[in-house]
Amino acid sequence: MSEVIALTPPMLLATAAAIAVAMWLVARLLRPGTRGPGGAKLPPGPPGYPIIGNLSQLGSLPHQNLRKLAQRYGPVMSLRLGSVPAIVVSSPHGAEMFLKTHDLVFASRPQTEATKHMAYGSKGLANTPYGSYWRHIRKLCTLELFTNVKIDSFAPMRKEEIGLLVDSLKKSSADGEVVNVSDKINGLIEDITYRMVIGRTKYENFDLKSVVEETLRLAGTFNIADFVPLLKPFDPQRMIPKMKKLGKLIDGILEKIIDEHEEAAQNSKESGSKPHRDFVDTLLSLKNKTLNPNDKDPHRIERTNIKAVLFDVAAGTIDTSGAGILWTLSELLRHPRTLKKLQAEIESLIGKDRTVEETDLNKLVYLDMVVKESLRLHPVAPLLLPHESREDIVIDGYFIPKKSRIIVNAHAIGRDPAFWSENSEEFYPERFEGSSLDIKGHDFQLIPFGSGRRGCAGMHLGLTTVKIVVSQLVHCFDWELPGNMAPGELDMTDKFGLSLYRATPLKAVPTYRLQI
């Protein structure tokens, strides 16, 4: 039985005072007259409740609930999340205004309890506020970690790991087993990430993947303490202790990884052998260097910066690629005609006596269409990462105040019937046939990786991983749902977080189909 906590008179007085002050602040926020130059008003939006504003209307699936609200209040909609003004963008035109035309104004990130406790105070790449430090750390990551040459250099490693997965599935095929595809894919992406980022397979004494998943789950939760500052000391959802605990766990893991790499580098130097080079080694080679020596406020790359960037890279790689692969395979299982068509394209180019190589991917036109369609319906980050306005601005006649939280609903944009027509909810890759529509942030009808200055730096890595894994699995195997389940019966419910995962594991029966 839970323990009852008695409120003493001083506690009651403090709580009442906090609520009174909060109500006063809310009353000020709700007063008419929040206008910009020329009398421009905030975008339309739903009325909110005292103190919490519209937080309760987000629900457990905010990407879906915000889409429904936008259908009523418009593609550029204002909310009040506690004391924080928020703008929700749900149309291609709106996304272009915020992420391209006025990109610089919205290039910053809001700072939250999650970034404070689990992201080294935003010293990495993803959540760092816009400024000199972010510009230089982005440039460093782009030139040192995410070049096409660097990513392509890991192709043999990806091939080896995918080969191990295929061998495992061949055994399951011979035994007629039902495979938990979700577990297999998540394990594959974890192994690829470990080898690419830290240069080895899993550690026995800690589980980085579980830590990443829990971190991103907490970071994706709308924490009322971030939006109602007066409630922060009370931490109503009891999230801050969990974040601090995870932050310490993350730091311990990264310290061990860095210590191990520094020791290996020293041993290589002493022995005269050629050192191994993974992402950690690349970052450590930059330690103690100054990012911007000519700036008034120069920034040095120190151990904390390395850990922050390293965790961003590991988290982004582990969390997104697996989700993209699983949604694509799920849609293919629901649409056997599409699966057969994709197999036919691959077979016509590759045959059945070898497997797909990464150098083949650019020739697989229908595969590209399938992946685009999957990311349209199931963007891995349905609300992207939030932006924050750096100054007051008027856009399309609407006033957007400084420090507004900007939420771009990629889920709603990808299903907008005004652009995608009446079949916008259907999985139909042929809609891209003969289309030049780009997935890389240039066409705002389809922005699963975001766009502009804060677009995803690891896009090439993510797309390459999704395409090579999907192509290998559909080329090597036929797939059926277990228990005579009809394709239309497959559960496609999603589970919200910073990344959008299937709510239930994907299970299927593979049948090996190649001649090797």
DSSP category for residue 391 = S
Q: Is 456 annotated as a binding residue?
A: yes
Which is more confidently placed, 195 or 69? 69
Record the tokens describing residue 11, joined without a space: 């506690």
Q: How far is CA 295 from CA 108, 127, 303, in A?
A: 20, 22, 21
Average pLDDT over residues 292-314: 88
For residue 18, the model assigns a pLDDT of: 55
Distance of alpha carbon 415 from alpha carbon 180, whole angstroms: 29
For residue 204, the model assigns a pLDDT of: 66
Residue 364 has pLDDT above 70, yes or no: yes
CA atoms 292, 297, 303, 306: torsion sign = negative
Other beta carbons within 10 Å of 61: 17
Q: Does residue 207 sit in helix, strand or coil?
A: coil
Query: Residue 400, exposed/middle/buried by CB under 10 A (0-12, 13-18, 19+)?
Result: buried
Q: Summarize pLDDT for 439-454 with one digit per residue, the tens.
A: 999 999 999 999 999 9
Distance of alpha carbon 227 from alpha carbon 84, whole angstroms: 6
Length of the chain: 516
- The structure's pTM equals 0.91
List the chain domain ranges: 102-381+390-399+418-512
For residue 2, the model assigns a pLDDT of: 34
Q: Are 313 and 461 in contact (CB under 8 A)?
A: no
Q: At the fourth CATH level, which superfamily is domain 102-381+390-399+418-512? A: Cytochrome P450 (1.10.630.10)
Distance of alpha carbon 304 from alpha carbon 11, whole angstroms: 39
Q: Summarize pLDDT for 253-297 with one digit per residue, the tens.
A: 999 999 999 998 888 887 887 766 788 988 898 888 888 777 777
Confidence band of 497 (pLDDT split at 50, 70, 90): confident
Residue 457 has pLDDT above 80, yes or no: yes
